[in-house]
Amino acid sequence: MDNLFDTLRQDYVIRAMIATLLLCISCATMGVYVVLRKMAFLGDALAHTALPGIVLAYFLKWPLFVGALFADILTALGISWLAKREKIKEDTAVGILFSSMFALGLFFLSGKSVRQDLTHMLFGSIINVTTKEITFMAITTLIVISFLTLIGKELAVTSMTPNYARQIGINPDFIRTLILLVLAITVVSSIQLVGVILTSAMLITPAATAGLFTKRIFPMMLLSTVFAITSGIGGLIITCIYNYPPGVVMVLLATLLFLISFSIKSIFKRS
């Protein structure tokens, strides 16, 4: 036990904790809107399309998250643009875009000796987080919180009655594009934590768990943050003891919380 406390006091663990806290706050609050607006598939897509950007950034010797951010913002704007054309259904467009971008990323990777270096982008590597990355995560959290508070009433109106919003002069497509952009930034942060493949879990699972207990937005965001931080920090501590990949443990913990909550909810409903 003393050994564990010594480990937890180490500099790199404290940095990892700060990063995890920041990411959990932004993913959990943004996740509430992702769940309420049924954008789960989009969150997953944004995570996968980051891969070619990451690989490209690796070759150009840029920070990897810059590449990921670039690829995701491009995807977010691309989805908004495609959604306005009426010939293709949106989920079809997203499906095509996200699998092809992921394939492109894997194509860049194949046959190169970089695979080992980039594994941590696939599964997350919060332990090796740099000061630059922590700064980016802090900025992300700030953007998410200010977005949700400043645009709160427009977000609610466009989600509930897009036609009414348009009639009073709020363009719902503009709000949607804003959501996608903020979501893109959040997803790139989350990639640091749990990697490209598991990112959508950090967005969706805590918010979905919170949704089992309350239907109101603000309590849902608070509860979602509590669930996210529990699985995030919990995952980090387990990683320190057993040396599992942190992202995998965090996602499994979040899922466990969901299953427990779901069972409790079902039992209460029955009685």
Partner 1 sequence: MSFACHYGKCEHPNSNPTAPILEVKNVTVGYTNNCEPVLKNLSLELYPGDNAILIGKNGCGKSTFFKTLTNEIPLQTGEVLIHGSPRGNCHHLLAYLPQRSTINWYFPMDLFQFVLSGRYVHLGWFKRPQKKDKDIAEIFLKKMGLWEQKDKLTSELSGGQQQRALLARALTQQAEILLLDEPLNAIDQQTKDIIGRVFEEGLKAPTAVIMATHEIPQWKDVFNCTLNLVNQKLQKFDNINEAQHILSHGGGCHHG
The residues of the shown chain that bind partner 1, judged by CB under 8 A, are 36, 150-151, 153-154, 156-157, 159-161, 163-164, 166-171, 173-174, 215-217, 220
Query: In the complex with partner 1, which residue's Cβ is closer, 106 or 160?
Result: 160
Query: In the complex with partner 1, which residue's Cβ is closer, 183 or 240?
Result: 183
Query: In the complex with partner 1, which residue's Cβ is closer, 56 or 223?
Result: 223
Report in angstroms the alpha-carbon separations of 234 from 28, 144, 239: 16, 23, 9
Rounded (10°) CA dihedral 139, 12, 223, 38:
60
Please state the closest distance from residue 136 (CB atom) to partner 1, in A: 26
Please state the closest distance from residue 85 (CB atom) to partner 1, in A: 13
> d(Cα 257, Cα 238) in Å, to the nearest integer?
15
Please state the closest distance from residue 123 (CB atom) to partner 1, in A: 34
Query: In the complex with partner 1, which residue's Cβ is closer, 28 or 55?
Result: 28
Amino acid in the structure at residue 102: F
Please state the closest distance from residue 267 (CB atom) to partner 1, in A: 23
Query: In the complex with partner 1, which residue's Cβ is closer, 114 or 150?
Result: 150
Largest CA distance in the chain: 63
> d(Cα 85, Cα 87) in Å, to the nearest integer?
6
Report in angstroms the alpha-carbon separations of 244 from 19, 126, 236: 18, 12, 9
- Tell me the Cα Rg of the chain: 19
Rounded (10°) CA dihedral 235, 26, 90, 68:
-80
Query: In the complex with partner 1, which residue's Cβ is closer, 23 or 165?
Result: 165
> How many residues are recorded in the chain?
271
Encoding tokens for residue 193? Answer: 């934590």
Q: Measured in whole angstroms, how far is the alpha carbon of residue 234 from the centre of its chain?
A: 18
Please state the closest distance from residue 162 (CB atom) to partner 1, in A: 8
∠ CA 147-64-245, nearest 5°, is 90
Q: Is 55 helix (H, G, I), strand (E, B) or coil?
A: helix
Query: In the complex with partner 1, which residue's Cβ is closer, 90 or 154?
Result: 154
Please state the closest distance from residue 247 (CB atom) to partner 1, in A: 30
Please state the closest distance from residue 213 (CB atom) to partner 1, in A: 13
Smallest CA-to-CA distance from 58 within 99, 104, 115 is with 115
Please state the closest distance from residue 96 (CB atom) to partner 1, in A: 25
For tokens 């002069």, the residue is 169
Query: In the complex with partner 1, which residue's Cβ is closer, 111 or 169?
Result: 169
